[in-house]
Each structure stands twice: as structure tokens, then as C-alpha cells.
């Protein structure tokens, strides 16, 4: 029962992370010792490669071990080094800067129908999806992407996965590129997020 509960919670957490544009991690000794926090951080940095900010609530905390290698190049802020309000403002500036960089190459999602092929490809990149998936489907514009989204989300994603898996792997046989259920589910979750932001357009 404990294992099933943990699996369910992780599924909910991972799906939420996949739909975010930026992640904040509150770094402390408790974070370092938590297996769940470690799993989330590695998922963000190694798997999704999403932008994140490390927030230190103890100015004297020294990063060591596995944590040091994961956040060494991240943007960070220390909350005990300066005035609290000044630090809050600095954090807000970091967030705005990070979101601006992450979203600058893609139009507002309400304009998805006007996306061209290049902007569709950028959407795949921003969601850390396999470039081969974009090459496989070859969406020419945002409208094609939205129409596919509307169709695919009406039934179980596993059916579509089974339908395309063999053809996908045949197409990328020379590159020895395989399509795992995990990678395809990331694609489906990104489509769900896109649909939720475009209910008025679909």
C-alpha cells in the first residue's frame, strides 16, 4: 500500500513539474537528506532539463555531495545575506528573467493556430520533447498540432503509442533511436497542457 501511494504521488508530482516553465527549489539540509527532493531535482535537471532557481534559506548552508554537482551551474539566491524584502525583489527579478528567456522564442499560447513550422519545433524544444518526435509527425503549423491534440486526447494515449512505435523505430533505425512509453507520455502531457491553455481556440 505504501509503495502504491508513493507511486501515485510521484506520478502527480512529475506531471505537475512537466507542465511548469520554471522550478524553485528551497535548498536546506532537510532537502539534501530527502530522497523525494533528490528525485524531483534529478528529474528536473537530468531528465527534463528545465530551468530552475536554487533558493537558500540558510545563508551558512554549504552545498556538498550529490547536491553540489546538480546545482553548481544554477541561478541561486541566499535569503539570509541581505534585507528580506530586497531579497524577495531580487528573486522576483530572477524569476521574470528566467521566464522571459524560456518563453521568448515562442508566441503566447493563445496564438498557437498562427504558429509556423519553426514555432511548432520550438514548442517541442521548450517542452524537452524528443526532436525525433517532431521529425516523425512533421507538423507544418500550429493548427495541425491543435487538431492532432484534439484527436489524440479523446482516447487512451497507449493506443497511439502502440500504433506509432514500430513505424517510429523503423524511421529512426539507423540512429538506433527508440520511443519509450515515458518519452511518449511526456509528449501527451505537453499536449494536455497546450489544450488547457487553448480551450477557446480548439
pLDDT at 28 over 80: yes
Rounded mean pLDDT of the chain? 84
Written out in words, the top-level CATH class of the domain with range 2-103 is alpha beta
Sequence spans of domains, the chain = 2-103, 109-196
| Model confidence band, residue 107 (pLDDT cutoffs 50, 70, 90) | very low
Helix 181-196 to helix 142-152 angle (10° resolution) is 110
Q: How many helices (H) and strands (E) does the chain have?
A: 10, 3
Q: Please compute the mean of the pLDDT values over residues 80-89 and round it to a whole number.
A: 77
Highest mean pLDDT (candidates 14-18, 90-94, 95-99): 90-94
pLDDT (0 to 100) of residue 202: 44
Whether the predicted model's global pTM rises above the 0.75 cut = no
Residue 185's pLDDT is 92
Amino acid at each position: 500500500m505504501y509503495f502504491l501511494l508513493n507511486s501515485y504521488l510521484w506520478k502527480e508530482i512529475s506531471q505537475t513539474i512537466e507542465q511548469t516553465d520554471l522550478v524553485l527549489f528551497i535548498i536546506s539540509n532537510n532537502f539534501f537528506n530527502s530522497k523525494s527532493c533528490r528525485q524531483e531535482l534529478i528529474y528536473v535537471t537530468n531528465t527534463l532539463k528545465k530551468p530552475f532557481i536554487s533558493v537558500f534559506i540558510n545563508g551558512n548552508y554549504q552545498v556538498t555531495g550529490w547536491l553540489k554537482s546538480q546545482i553548481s551551474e544554477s541561478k541561486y539566491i541566499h535569503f539570509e545575506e541581505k534585507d528580506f524584502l530586497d531579497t524577495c525583489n531580487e528573486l522576483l527579478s530572477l524569476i521574470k528573467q528566467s521566464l522571459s528567456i524560456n518563453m521568448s522564442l515562442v508566441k503566447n499560447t493563445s496564438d498557437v493556430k498562427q504558429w509556423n513550422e519553426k514555432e511548432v519545433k520550438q514548442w517541442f524544444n521548450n517542452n524537452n520533447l524528443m526532436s525525433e518526435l517532431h521529425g516523425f509527425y512533421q507538423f507544418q503549423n500550429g493548427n495541425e498540432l491543435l487538431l492532432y491534440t484534439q484527436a489524440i486526447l479523446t482516447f487512451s494515449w497507449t493506443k497511439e503509442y502502440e500504433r506509432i512505435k514500430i513505424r517510429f523505430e523503423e524511421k529512426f533505425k539507423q540512429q538506433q533511436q527508440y520511443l519509450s512509453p515515458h518519452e511518449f507520455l511526456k509528449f501527451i502531457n505537453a499536449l494536455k497542457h497546450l489544450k488547457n491553455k487553448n480551450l477557446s481556440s480548439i
